[in-house]
Amino acid sequence: MKKRISIILVTGLLTWSCSNNKEQSNMNNPFFQTWDTPFQVPPFDKIRTEHYIPAFEEGIRQQKQEIEDIVNNNEAPSFENTIEALEYSGELLYKVSSVFFNLNECLNSEEMTQIAEIVIPKTTRHSDDISLNAALFNRIKTVYNQKESAGLNKEQLRLLEETYKGFVRGGGNVPESQQKRFREINERLSSLTHQYGNNVLAATNEYQLVVDDAARLAGLTPDQLFAASTAANANEETKGKWVFTIHLPSMEPFLQNCRDRELRKELWTAYSTRCTSGEFDNSAIIDEIVNLRMEKAKILGFASHADYVLDNCMAKTPEAVNDLLTKVWNPALAKAKEEAAEYKKMIQEEGNNFELMPYDWRYYSEKLRKEKYDLNDEIIRPYFSLKGVKEGIWSVCEKLYGITFVENKNIPVYTDGVEAFEVKDGENVIAVLYMDYHPRESKRSGAWMTNFREQSVSSDGQNIIPVVSLVMNFTTPSGDKPSLLNFDETETFFHEFGHGLHSILSKCHYRSLSGTNVSRDFVELPSQIMENWASDKEVMKMYAKHYDTGEIIPDELIQKIEAASTYGQGFINTELLAASFLDMDYHTLTRPASGNPPQFEEQAMAKIKLIPEIIPRYRSTYFQHIFSGGYSSGYYSYTWAAVLDSDAFEAFKEKGIFDKEVADSFRKNILEKGNTEEPMKLYLDFRGKEPSIEPILRNRGLLHPSFE
C-alpha cells in the first residue's frame, strides 16, 4: 500500500505557497534566481523540498501566459512567432522539473513522494492544456501547411514537423466531445505509473534474507560474506548475522555461489514475486494502465497502444517488431535448451534427482563456466576496479573524440558519493557530468543516464552546455577493497557512458531535438556500441589493472573472457526477448486486459514456448521499463539497437577501433545530430548501407546452421 500523504505536510506546503509571505519566500527560492554556481548547475545545497511546489506552480503560470501570448499574437502564424516561441516557452517549469524528477528517482524520500503526488497531476493537466489548445494547434497547422515555402533550414523544418506530429499524437485532433475523457486518461496514467514505480522501490527495499548460520553460506566468497555481514551489522536486530537483499549487487553473486538450494529458492522467490500481493501489489495497477493506454490509442485512431507508440519509432509496426524478435528468438531458445541440458546433466552427476529450476540456473551456469573456462567473477573483479574502468572509459573517449574529463569539487552535488566533472574538448568545457555509483535505499534499482539540463542554443544565440548524470548501482567497496566490478557491471558502465556521450556531444539548436531526444529504438545505439570497447583486448590492456598490485590484466585472462563471451547467451537473450514479447503482448491488446497478470504472462510465455527453467527478465509486477519508465511497446528497442550497434561496430573493426575517420563520422552523423533528421537517414550517412542482422547473431554465438 502506498504511504498516505500527511495532511499536515500537504496543508503546510499549500498554505506556504499561498501565504502572505509568498513574495518574500519566492525571493529565497533558488528556482526563481539565476544560479551563480559553476556553469549554472543546480545549487543542490540550497534547494529544499519546500521550494518545489511554488516553483512548479509559478512555472505553470508563466508558460500558460507564454502560450496565451502566442495564441493572441495578431501577426500571421510563422515559424518564429509560433514554433520557436513555443519551443522557448516554459523555462522555469523545465528548470524545476529537471531537478525534481531526477532526484525523485535517485534521492527519494517520503516527502519527495508526497510532493510528486501533488505536482504530477498538475503538470499532466498543464501538458494537456497545451496539447489540446485548439487555437494554438491551428497556428501550428497553418505554419505546417506552408512549410515548403517557409525557407526553413533542415533543423527548423524538423522542429516544425516534430512539433506538428507531437500535437497530433498529444490529442490535437481529438474531438471536443472526447477531450474530457482524454484528459482523465492522461492524468490517471501519470498517477498510476508513479504509484507502480513506488511500489517496486518499496517492495525491493523491504525484503531481506537474514541468515544466522554460516554453514548455510558455503560457496560464497569472503568478500561476499563481508558485504553481507556489514549490511547486517548496520541494524541492531541483525547484528552478528548476514543480510542479503534483492538488489542485484547482492542477489546475483548469492544465486551464483550459494550451495544451499533452499536459500537460493527463498531469495529468488522474493525477487520474482515482488508486488504480486500484499500492500505493494501492482496487479490491479497493471490492468488499469494497459486498459487506459488501449483506450487512449483508440481515441487517437490507432488499433492498439503498440501501434500508437511504434508509429513514432524506426520499427513503425508491431509486425516489424515481432518479426525481428522472432529472428533472434529461435536461435536463442535453441541455445538456451542446450544450456539447460548441460545443467541438468551436472545435477544428475552430483547424484541429485531434483528438476532444474529458475533459482538453480545462475548457480549451475557459474559452476559450468568455472569448469569450462576456469573463469569466475572473483578472478575477474580485481582487474576491474570502479576507478580503473572509469579511467578506461575516459581513455576510449579521448582516443575516439578527443574529449577529457576533469573533476571539479566546486560543483555542488546532490548527495555524498556523487562526483562532478567538467567535460572538455580542447580548452572548451562542453558539458558537466555527474556520476552516482552505488545503491542506497532512496535510489531505484538499475542504471540510467539523465539530464539536469539538455544542450541547446538559447533564444539570444548562446550555446547552453548539457548537465548530464549517470546513475548506477554498482557493487560497493568492501572493507579495505575499493568497488570491484564484474564484467556485466563493467559493460553497464560503458553502456551508460554511451548514452552520456549522446548528450555531451550534441550540437543541436533546439532542446527538444538535442541529445537523446530520439526515437526509443534509436536511443540505444550510442550506448550499446560503447560496450564493444569494454571487451576489446587492446582496450582492456589500457584500463584493466589489478586494484592492489597494478598488474595489467594478463593475456591468459583476456583469452578466457573472450572464449566465454558467448557463454550463457541462450539464457541472456531468451530472458531479454521474453520480456520484449511480454511487453508487445500487453500493448497489442485491442480488448480490455483479463484482470489476471500472472495468467496473462503465463499465456504469453506459452505462446513463444519459453522453457520453464527461465522467466522473463522482468515479470509483469516489477517491469518498470514498460509500466513506469517510458519503454511501453519499446523494450524490443534493446534488440533493435543491438542490430544497429553490431553492424555499426563492423565499420570500426574494418579500419581499426580507434580510426579517426570512422570516429569522426560516428560523432558527426549520430552523436551530434540528436533528432534533427530521420534515424535511418543518420545511420545511412554514417554506415553507407542498411544494417544486417548477421553481426548480432555472430557476436552472440547464435549463428546456428539451422538459422543461417
C-alpha span between 135 and 480 (Å, rounded) = 64
- Cα angle 657, 662, 663; round to 5: 75
Please tell me which residue in 57, 339, 366, 496 is annotated as part of the active site: 496
- Helix H or strand E segment including 242: strand 242-244
Question: Could you identify the residue written with the cell 508526497?
Answer: 114
**Taking the alpha carbons of 398, 403, 407, 412 in that order, is the dihedral positive or negative?**
negative
Residue 250's CB: how many other CB atoms inside 10 A?
22
Is there a catalytic annotation at residue 496?
yes
Residues 453, 481: contact at Cβ < 8 Å?
no
C-alpha span between 426 and 462 (Å, rounded) = 19
Q: Look up residue 92 and give its three cell numbers.
A: 522555469
C-alpha span between 58 and 27 (Å, rounded) = 13
C-alpha span between 163 and 165 (Å, rounded) = 5
> HEC profile for 319-355?
HHHHHHHHHHHHHHHHHHHHHHHHHHHHHHHCCCCCC
Q: Look up residue 473 and give its three cell numbers.
A: 548501482
- Cα angle 559, 562, 565; round to 5: 150
Q: Which residues contact 148 (CB under 8 A, 6 or more apart)?
A: none
Q: Look up residue 325 and give its three cell numbers.
A: 524478435
DSSP state of 434: E
Q: Which residues contact 597 (CB under 8 A, 6 or more apart)?
A: 283, 286, 287, 620, 621
DSSP state letters, 66-115: HHHHHHT--SPP-IIIIIIHHHT--HHHHHHHHHHHHHHHHS--HHHHHH
E strands present in 426-543: 428-436, 448-453, 456-457, 463-464, 467-471
C-alpha span between 295 and 518 (Å, rounded) = 25
Residues linked to residue 435 through DSSP beta bridges, in sequence order = 419, 470
C-alpha span between 576 and 641 (Å, rounded) = 13
- Active site amino acids: 496
